[in-house]
Amino acid sequence: MTAQGTDSPEHCLTHTPSRPSSAGAGAGVLTVLFSVFQPVSHETLEADVEDEGPAQAADSSNPGDGLPQYRLSEIKNHGPKSSRPWVIFEDKVYDITDWIPAHPGGEVILRAAGGSIEPYWDIFAIHKTPYVREILQQFVVGKIHPDDLEDGRPRMNDIEDPFVSDPTRDPRLRQITAKPCNAETAGEDLAEAFLTPNEVFYVRNHMWVPVIEDTAADAHGITIELPDGDVKTYTVHDLKAKFKQYSVTAVLQCSGNRRRDMTEHANKTNGLQWGPGAISCAKWEGVRLRDVLKDAGLPLDDLPEDAQHVQFSGLEAYGASIPIHSALDPRGDVLLAFKMNDLPLPRDHGFPVRVIVPGTVAARCVKWVSKIVVSDEESDTSWQRRDYKCFGPNETRDLDWDKYKSIQEMPITSAITRARKKSADGNHVEVEGYAYSGGGHEIQRVDVSLDGGKTWDQASLVDDSEQDSGSKAWSWKRWRYEGALPTTTEAAAFVVKATDDAYNTQPQCYKSIYNLRGNLATAWHRVEFDPRKEKGCADS
C-alpha cells in the first residue's frame, strides 16, 4: 500500500615465451593485484583454443625490446577457458598462468583473461602503484601489435567494459556513481510507502552485476563449507524444495547513509557522499540460513569451537561475514532470500539469491551469494576488515584496522524526507520522514523541532503494522508532523531525532561522532526550510 499525499506544494529532499621464475617472490603483491576479481561462472566464456601454446603473431619482430607482438584477436584466444590465460596492461601482454594456483581467490583473476585488466584497476585504484607494475612486469610475454594501438594504447572500443551487462536503472534514483552503480532513493519515494518499491530501492554495488539468466536461476549453486571440512552444495531449486520459506520485513541501510552531512558539518570523509537515501525497506522471502546450516551438518546444539563466524562470498568477488550467534539465532530471521516485495529479486539486489541479515549493516547482506563458510575467523576481505569500521574523531593517520570490530548492528537514526506547505502563506507545514534502529529495536518516539532545536514536539508514528513481519522490529517507522513556523518571513531549520525501546537516541552533532570513513552519520538531521521560496527545503 502507498500513502496518499496532499495536493499542496511539496519540498522534496531528492537530491609462452620464457620469463623469470619469480612467481613465488611476486605472490604477495599479486595477491593485492588480483584478489578483488571473482570468476562469473554462469557467463558464456569464449571457446578454448586448440593450440594452447603461445599464439604466433603475424609480426613478432620488435627490435626495441625483443618482445613478440600479438593481435588483440590472438590475445582473446587466451581467455578464461584457455590453459594459458593472458591479460593486457597498457600496451603489454602478460601470461598469468603460473600465478593462478597461488592466488588466494582461486580462479578469480580469470574475469580479466583475454582482455585488459585496466577497467578492473579503475575500480580499485590501490593497484596503480609503481611497485605493483614492477611485479606484474615479471609476467610479460609480449606487446600488442601496433595495428591494434592508438596513441600507444589499445582503442577504447577494443577494451571490454565490465559493466556492459549491468541492468538499466530507474531515472528516479539519485545516482552517486555510474560504474559501479551506487544510487540513493529520492526523498519523495522514501516518504511515499512503507515498502520501498523495488525499482527505487537504493542501489549499492562494489563492482559489476553478475549475469544469471532466468532459466538458469534454479540451477545456481551455493556451496556450504563447515569447520570439519565437510562440503555440501545446494541449488536454488534445492533450497526452495527442501526448506520451509519465511518472510521478513526489514530495512537495509548503508553504513555511509548521510555521510554527506558529516562531511559538511564536521570534516572531510572518505567514501561515497550519500544523502539520507541510502536506506530502504522491503519484504524479503526465502529460507532460514539456520535451517540450511543444520541440514548441511552443523551441530547447532553442540557447536565446535572453531564455528565462530559465517562468511559469505558473492559471484562478483564481494565478501563479508557475521558472527555465528547472529546466523543461528532462532529469532534473528537471517534468510537466504529469493523474493523482494513478492517478486523475484531484481538483478541489482542479488538475483537469484542473497543473504538478508535484519538489523545489521547492509554490507553483510551479500548479494549473488555462491559460497558460505563456517569459520573460526571473520571474512578476510577488505570490506569486512577495513572499510566498515569507525575510528575516533582524532584518529586520521596511521590507522590500526585491527583495533576495532567491524560494524554489525546499526545504531538509531532518523531523517526528514519531505516537507510541504499546508497554507498559502507557508506558515503551516507538514514534515515527513523515517526513523530506524538496528538490532531489532523498535522506535518509540520521534521528536521534531521547527526552530533549529530550541523547542520540540512529538511526531505521529504511521501505523504500518499490517505490512510488517518478522520476529523483531526489523523495519522502520514512518512519521508525520504538522505545525506552525515561528515566523513566516525567515527561513526555518527543521530538526528531527528519534528514540528506541532501549532509550537509545541520536547524538546532537557530527563533530562528536566524526570518523574518517564517514560511517554511521546518525546525528540530528537538519533541513533548511524557506517558505518564501517555491522549493523551500535544502537537505543539510
The residues assigned a catalytic role are: 103, 127, 204, 254, 388
Is there a contact between 167 and 368 (Cβ–Cβ < 8 Å)?
no
Is there a contact between 315 and 351 (Cβ–Cβ < 8 Å)?
no
Strand ranges across the sheet with 369-375: 231-235, 221-225, 369-375, 309-314, 319-323
> Number of H helices and number of E strands within the chain?
10, 29
* Phi, psi angles (nearest 5°) of residue 112: -95, -5
Sign of CA dihedral 1, 168, 275, 119: positive
Is there a contact between 407 and 388 (Cβ–Cβ < 8 Å)?
yes
Is there a contact between 461 and 478 (Cβ–Cβ < 8 Å)?
yes
Residues 6+ apart with CB under 8 A from 508: 453, 497, 523, 524
Grid cell in block for residue 203: 542501489
Is there a contact between 328 and 290 (Cβ–Cβ < 8 Å)?
yes
Nearest CA among 426, 423, 415, 422 for reference residue 448: 415
- What is the number of residues in the chain? 540
Cα Rg, the chain, nearest whole Å: 26
Angstrom distances, CA of residue 441 to CA of 291, 302, 317, 325: 24, 29, 32, 17
The one-letter code for the residue type at 246 is Y
The one-letter code for the residue type at 511 is K
The residue behind cell 528514540 is 499
Cα–Cα distance, 496 to 110 (Å, whole number): 49
The one-letter code for the residue type at 263 is T
Is there a contact between 370 and 319 (Cβ–Cβ < 8 Å)?
no
Question: For residue 495, what is the enclosing H or E element?
Answer: strand 492-500
